[in-house]
Amino acid sequence: MSTSILIASVIPLVFLYLIKWLNFFETHRARWILLALVWGAIALELSYLVDHPIRLILGMKFVATHTAPIVEEIFKSLVLLYLVRRADTSSFVDGAIYGFASGVGFAIAENMLYLSRVDMDTGVIVGTVRAFTASVLHGSTTAIVGMVLAGLPLAGLNRHPLVAWVIGLAVAIACHAAYNNTVFHTFVFGQTGLLVTSSIAVATLVVATTGVFWGLRRERHRLRKSLGMNVGVSKGEAMLVQRIEDLDDMLAPIEERYGEVKREQVANALLLGAQLAMKQDLLRKTRDPELRAELAPQVTELKRDLKQARSDVGLYIMSHVRSIVGKTTWSLWARVGRTLEKLEAAHTNLWKTLEEKRVGHNTGGETMYARLQTALQARAQSAALAIEAEEE
């Protein structure tokens, strides 16, 4: 049972990490992600308290296909009404991350509930299937709500938070209902039903990740405008900040010349510059007095942290950094490719190593079998000479 519990809990967290990893601006806060995870587990209990009495009256089928998608999506997303109105949410990308975290918290708790009702052998199958289907769906649907609620542009329809919440819920509930209807009729569809449910979950995940990529592209445009204003970032830093997703390539010369520690300090300084520009842009645009009051001290703190980060790097190295401009263009596949290149570089080719050692010990280029044959022939000749000597 421990294996099934591990599968049902770790795999959803891996999906959450991947969604979080996509936001290279790191404008989200770990404590709010943790809060969203915990709330997701609480939302499961609240959903059960509502669905259980209805199930006793109308039956399991009605609840699964009609009320559960509505009730669960509402409870999962309630925490987002609080999180996305905070100064720590810089764009709808953060809303997607907080929403995915809430959905994953709900999914893990629900997975544990399902595993408590099956035996050990069945638990591994149930845990694996749910980790790649239901968990992905729960995270993705709430991520969609988070994006819309945090400001995903929809022709001005979502300017009011409650309107945005309803729009996001409508999309999430539709995806959830389609999934639940398919799951409930899996006994009719068989393997086809499992394929359809998996497709629905993956399609919902694709919608959420597409929104994240679009949001990151919008953030790049916002940064170009914000960095052109007085935000305390030099022209050289501004050019690097706009390419902050390419830091692995651009800062390679810094690491080679000054070491890994300095490279990390430089990356931190550039990241703080990006966050400062985004916060100041948000401060200029927002009309909410409470949000402005919360943003102002954060901007001041970021300016102080940026000044300290530059001091840690040093004037000479910082001047060198400002002269660096990368030539690469970022994409998800380029980022994955760079990661794979690093992994491959860390491994050695066993056969190539053995060949080099063999050639090193045998500069004449003879193969092992040729050398063995030569030794055997020499021994045979020695034995024949010895026999001839005895006969004489």
Q: Report the C-alpha gap between 31 and 9 in whole angstroms.
A: 19
- CB-based contacts of 321: which residues, under 8 Å, 6+ apart? 236, 237, 240, 251, 254, 266, 270, 313
DSSP one-letter string for 185-197? THHHHTHHHHHHH
Q: What is the pTM for the complete model shown? A: 0.66
Q: Tell me the pLDDT tens digit for each residue of 128-145.
A: 989 999 999 999 999 999
Q: Tell me the pLDDT tens digit for each residue of 373-391.
A: 566 566 666 666 665 565 5
Q: Tell me the pLDDT tens digit for each residue of 170-179.
A: 999 999 999 9
Q: 145-154: b or e for each residue (b if 16 or more CB lie within 10 Å)? A: bbbbbbbbee
- Sign, Cα dihedral of 197, 203, 209, 211: negative
Name the pLDDT band for 227 (thresholds 50, 70, 90): low
Terminus-to-terminus CA distance in the chain, angstroms?
Answer: 84
Q: How many CB atoms within 10 Å of residue 386?
A: 10
- Rounding to the nearest 10 degrees, give the CA dihedral for residues 259, 262, 264, 267: -120
Domain boundaries, the chain: 2-222, 228-345, 350-391
Residue 135: per-residue pLDDT = 95
Which amino acid is residue 97, in one-letter code?
Answer: I
Q: Tell me the pLDDT tens digit for each residue of 327-362.
A: 444 444 455 555 555 554 445 454 455 455 444 444
Phi, psi of 330 (to 5 degrees): -80, 145
Cβ atoms of residues 20 and 99 within 8 Å: no
- CB-based contacts of 239: which residues, under 8 Å, 6+ apart? 325
Residue 367: per-residue pLDDT = 47
